[in-house]
Amino acid sequence: MTPVVRFLPEALDDVIESQRWYASRQPGLGQAFAEAITAGVERISSDPAAFAYGHGLVRRLVVRRFPYAIYFREAGDAIVVLAVHGRQDPRLWQDRA
């Protein structure tokens, strides 16, 4: 059974803010960012254990084409996305774990 993927509200805000930023830089780039995040979430849901731990019990998938990672943890039958984070200070999201 494929696990349900849930985003914390802050993680969803991360995605929206980054997508808007990319969209303001070049036409179509915001959409490309959203598609890269969607592809990453699909990879996570198909095999969450395939990704290395990045912070305690939080796993990390590096997003293709963009300098971002999706940080997530398994919670029973679900996967919780804690952050979609670039190269900024990791302390900005680590308290979400």
Domain ranges of the chain: 4-94
> Whose CA is closest to 45, among 15, 7, 3, 8?
3
Spell out the per-residue pLDDT of the chain, length 97, in tens. Answer: 788 999 999 999 999 999 999 999 999 999 999 999 999 999 999 999 999 998 889 999 999 999 999 999 999 999 999 999 886 655 555 666 6
CATH number, span 4-94: 3.30.2310.20
Q: Which two tokens stand for residue 59?
A: 């796993």
**pTM for the model:** 0.87
- Taking the CA atoms of 87, 91, 36 and 73 in sequence, report the sign of the dihedral they define: positive
C-alpha 88/C-alpha 31 separation (Å) is: 22
**Taking a C-beta distance cutoff of 8 angstroms, is the pair 23, 29 a contact?**
yes
